[in-house]
């Protein structure tokens, strides 16, 4: 297979480690296994490479990888092993696999659950849940309705990804309108925030607005939608409708004032608005943390105008911010909550918890072949039970308050020439870079810091325009336990060193 850089990708690892043989090799008449079913690695590599070079493939898997030279190998706790240009390396993963591994890699109890499902059911995936119920999914639905503190009587629908969950949330709001008074029945519009990320399928993409490239070329009017400024409790950079960078530095009351003005000027027809969707902390958008006061004002305003409130907890969810759900910090009562990513430990799975009155009433209105699979549901049950029994949300809160937050604020104080600000809750923090002279975001500088950090052994992901996000597993070693390492300390140390290195290597901060 050929990569975008023109080099051939040699399928090195899976056939060697797992014994799973790519059918392409068999087709080419190369069977590597000997009588014991074992593979001679050296022999295999050589032949595989030759084949890869000879195959004229003009189609290959599309990805948006961090770097095509990195290949995933395995993980344990907060560390991952990767192959970088063929060399095995160990990195601390400050991203928890894009917030899927809140419980850390290689979780033994999750592995046990997978084995148990296999033992009990023989067929781990089972009959599609929307066509035949299974005990694991029913148990999970019960657990989720109990754990998600929305005031209404609750119900759950399962889906397979964050975006699919968001679309189910949107449909729920349409359901509710179809059951409501004639006056409210035609509310078709949705409001989301600039900087928001809610997924990439065409419905969810109408709401997503964190980078212009996500929306370019695609219809983003699946339902007429408006974007408002995210009511952050700190200044931040964000793209506007035309893709230009805006610097937002509002006081808490200004967010609502702006929305009211838009309504008065007819830019938002509030009587046609069905629902508003919020992340409590924008993840992809740059780790922008909502102001409690501004968010509450907005929610109150929307509610008083008959607008439903959806909360996207896909990235913030399940303990990361110091509570099981981030919305619990803000004392708001959403109608719909969308959960995914860490819910099933990275197994494709999402769940939407909603006010039961909004639910579907007729067969055929909603379904999804793979949603609520026994395996995904069993994993999710185990995730929830570990989060609860090990009090991991509290641990995330403590580490965020005592260790990560203060350390990042010290870095910000030490390097005011490059750090704009630090924001976050629990184990979800961001550090934004800028050039204070030009007051512009320092994206290239941020990229350099990420690169330097990887050389020094920590994998950071970027977010927003010039932010690094720090979202490690909630189980990360902090040096305070009897056993285990201090990966959180490593993250902080490497971040500091990488900022220093980037300052040395970049003459102009940009
Ligand atoms: C807050 C939020 N919503 C929705 C999504 C979309 O999830 P998925 O990629 O599973 O469709 C993401 C993914 O990063 C996310 O962070």
Ligand 1 pocket, residue 167 CB under 6 Å: no
Residue 316 Cα: closest atom of ligand 1: 1
CA atoms within 13 A on the CB side of 422: 24
Strand partners, 336: 310, 354
Pocket test for ligand 1, best of 63, 101, 195, 198 (most atoms within 8 A of CB): 198
Mean pLDDT of the chain: 90
In the predicted structure, residue 483 carries a pLDDT above the cut 80: no
Q: Which residue has the tokens 């690695």?
A: 41
| Phi, psi (deg, nearest 5) at residue 199 | 120, 175
Percentage with pLDDT > 70 across the chain = 87
State the Cα–Cα distance between residues 81 and 241, nearest whole angstrom: 40
Distance 507 CA to ligand 1 centre (A): 36
Ligand 1 pocket, residue 162 CB under 6 Å: yes
Average pLDDT score over residue span 73-78: 94
The answer to whether 373 touches 133, Cβ cutoff 8 Å, is no
From residue 319, alpha-carbon distances to 78, 88, 102, 103 in Å are 16, 32, 8, 10
In the predicted structure, residue 58 carries a pLDDT above the cut 60: no
Among 494, 436, 496, 427, CA closest to 283: 427
| pLDDT of 313 | 98
Task: Give the least confident one: 214-223, 306-315, 364-373, 495-504.
Answer: 214-223
| Phi, psi (deg, nearest 5) at residue 290 | -65, 145
| pLDDT of 137 | 95
What's the maximum distance between 2 C-alpha atoms anywhere in the chain? 78
Region(s) of the chain under CATH 3.90.1150.10: 392-505
| pLDDT of 441 | 97
Q: What is the pTM of this model?
A: 0.92
225: Cβ–Cβ under 8 A, 6 or more apart, which residues?
A: 189, 190, 191, 192, 206, 207
Average pLDDT score over residue span 464-493: 91
When pLDDT is cut at 50, 70 and 90, the band that residue 46 belongs to is: low
When pLDDT is cut at 50, 70 and 90, the band that residue 426 belongs to is: very high
**Residues 232-269 pLDDT 10s:** 999 999 999 889 999 999 999 999 999 999 999 999 99
When pLDDT is cut at 50, 70 and 90, the band that residue 14 belongs to is: very low
Task: Give the least confident one: 103-117, 185-199, 218-232.
Answer: 218-232
Rg (the chain; Cα; Å): 24
HEC string for 226-250: EEECCCECCCEEEECCCCCEEEECC
Average pLDDT score over residue span 31-38: 58
Distance 291 CA to ligand 1 centre (A): 22
Task: Give the least confident one: 28-32, 195-199, 209-213.
Answer: 28-32
Residue 350 Cα: closest atom of ligand 1: 10
Nearest CA to ligand 1 atom 16: 315
Distance 434 CA to ligand 1 centre (A): 26
Strand partners, 338: 312, 352
State the Cα–Cα distance between residues 457 and 303, nearest whole angstrom: 47
In the predicted structure, residue 8 carries a pLDDT above the cut 60: no
CATH topology of domain 392-505: 3.90.1150
Ligand 1 pocket, residue 199 CB under 6 Å: yes
Residue 200 Cα: closest atom of ligand 1: 11
When pLDDT is cut at 50, 70 and 90, the band that residue 35 belongs to is: low
State the Cα–Cα distance between residues 469 and 105, nearest whole angstrom: 19
Strand partners, 479: none
Among 242, 227, 232, CA closest to 190: 227
Ligand 1 pocket, residue 336 CB under 6 Å: no
Ligand 1 pocket, residue 165 CB under 6 Å: no
From residue 424, alpha-carbon distances to 13, 92, 307, 395, 429 in Å are 37, 20, 28, 15, 4
Nearest CA to ligand 1 atom 4: 198
When pLDDT is cut at 50, 70 and 90, the band that residue 56 belongs to is: very low
Number of Cβ atoms within 10 Å of the Cβ of 195: 29
| pLDDT of 45 | 61
| Phi, psi (deg, nearest 5) at residue 485 | -95, -165
In the predicted structure, residue 476 carries a pLDDT above the cut 70: yes
When pLDDT is cut at 50, 70 and 90, the band that residue 17 belongs to is: low
In the predicted structure, residue 57 carries a pLDDT above the cut 50: no
Alpha helices in 390-442 (DSSP H): 392-399, 405-414
When pLDDT is cut at 50, 70 and 90, the band that residue 480 belongs to is: confident
Region(s) of the chain under CATH 3.40.640.10: 160-358
| pLDDT of 10 | 47
State the Cα–Cα distance between residues 114 and 19, nearest whole angstrom: 20
| pLDDT of 143 | 97
Pocket test for ligand 1, best of 312, 314, 343, 370 (most atoms within 8 A of CB): 314
Strand partners, 486: none
When pLDDT is cut at 50, 70 and 90, the band that residue 301 belongs to is: very high
Percentage with pLDDT > 90 across the chain = 76
The hierarchical CATH code for the domain 160-358 is: 3.40.640.10
DSSP readout, 88-131? EEEEEETTHHHHT-TT-BT-HHHHHHHHHHHHHHSSSS-S-TTT
Ligand 1 pocket, residue 283 CB under 6 Å: yes
State the Cα–Cα distance between residues 492 and 405, nearest whole angstrom: 10
Average pLDDT score over residue span 319-345: 98
Ligand 1 pocket, residue 315 CB under 6 Å: yes
| pLDDT of 404 | 98
Average pLDDT score over residue span 81-101: 93
Average pLDDT score over residue span 184-195: 94
In the predicted structure, residue 1 carries a pLDDT above the cut 60: no
HEC string for 267-287: CCCHHHEEEEEECCEECCCCC
């Amino acid at each position: 297979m050929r990569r975008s850089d023109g080099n051939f990708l040699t399928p090195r690892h899976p056939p060697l480690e797992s014994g799973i043989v790519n059918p392409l090799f068999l087709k080419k008449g190369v069977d590597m296994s000997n009588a014991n079913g074992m593979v001679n690695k050296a022999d295999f590599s050589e032949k595989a490479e030759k084949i890869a070079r000879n195959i004229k493939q003009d189609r290959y898997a599309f990805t948006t990888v961090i770097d095509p030279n990195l290949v995933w190998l395995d993980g344990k706790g907060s560390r991952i092993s990767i192959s970088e240009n063929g060399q095995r390396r160990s990195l601390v993963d400050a991203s928890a696999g894009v917030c899927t591994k809140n419980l850390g890699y290689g979780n033994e109890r999750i592995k046990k659950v997978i084995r148990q499902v296999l033992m009990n059911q023989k067929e781990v995936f089972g009959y599609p849940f929307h066509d035949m119920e299974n005990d694991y999914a029913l148990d999970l639905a019960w657990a989720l309705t109990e754990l998600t503190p929305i005031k209404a009587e609750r119900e759950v629908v399962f889906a397979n990804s964050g975006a699919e969950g968001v679309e189910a949330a949107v449909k729920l709001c349409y359901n509710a309108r179809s059951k409501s008074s004639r006056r409210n029945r035609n509310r078709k519009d949705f409001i989301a925030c600039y900087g928001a990320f809610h997924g990439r399928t065409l419905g969810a993409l109408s709401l997503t607005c964190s980078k212009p490239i996500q929306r370019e070329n695609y219809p983003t009017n699946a339902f007429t939608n408006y974007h408002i400024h995210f009511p952050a409790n700190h200044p931040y950079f964000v793209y506007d409708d035309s893709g230009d960078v805006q610097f937002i530095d509002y006081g808490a009351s200004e967010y609502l004032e702006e929305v009211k003005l838009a309504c008065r000027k007819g830019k938002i027809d509030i009587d046609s608005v069905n629902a508003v969707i919020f992340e409590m902390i924008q993840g992809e958008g740059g780790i922008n943390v909502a102001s409690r006061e501004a968010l509450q004002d907005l929610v109150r305003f929307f509610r008083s105008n008959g607008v439903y409130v959806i909360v996207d907890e896909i990235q913030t969810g399940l303990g990361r911010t110091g509570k099981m759900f981030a919305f619990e910090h803000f004392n708001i009562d959403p109608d719909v909550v969308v959960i995914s990513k860490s819910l099933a430990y990275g197994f494709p799975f999402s769940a939407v918890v909603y006010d039961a009155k909004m639910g579907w009433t007729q067969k055929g209105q909603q379904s999804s072949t793979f949603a609520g699979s026994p395996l995904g549901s069993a994993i999710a049950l185990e995730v929830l039970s570990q989060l609860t029994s090990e009090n991991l949300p509290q641990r995330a809160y403590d580490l965020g308050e005592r260790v990560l937050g203060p350390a990042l604020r010290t870095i910000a104080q030490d390097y005011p020439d490059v750090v704009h600000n630090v924001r976050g809750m629990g184990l979800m923090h961001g550090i934004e870079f800028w050039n204070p002279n030009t007051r512009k975001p320092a994206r290239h500088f941020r990229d350099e810091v990420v690169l330097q950090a990887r050389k020094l052994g920590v994998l950071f992901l970027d977010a927003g325009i010039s932010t690094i996000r720090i979202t490690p597993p909630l189980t990360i070693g902090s040096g305070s336990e009897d056993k285990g390492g201090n990966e959180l300390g490593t993250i902080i140390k490497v971040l500091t060193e990488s900022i220093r290195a980037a300052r040395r290597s970049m003459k102009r901060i940009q």
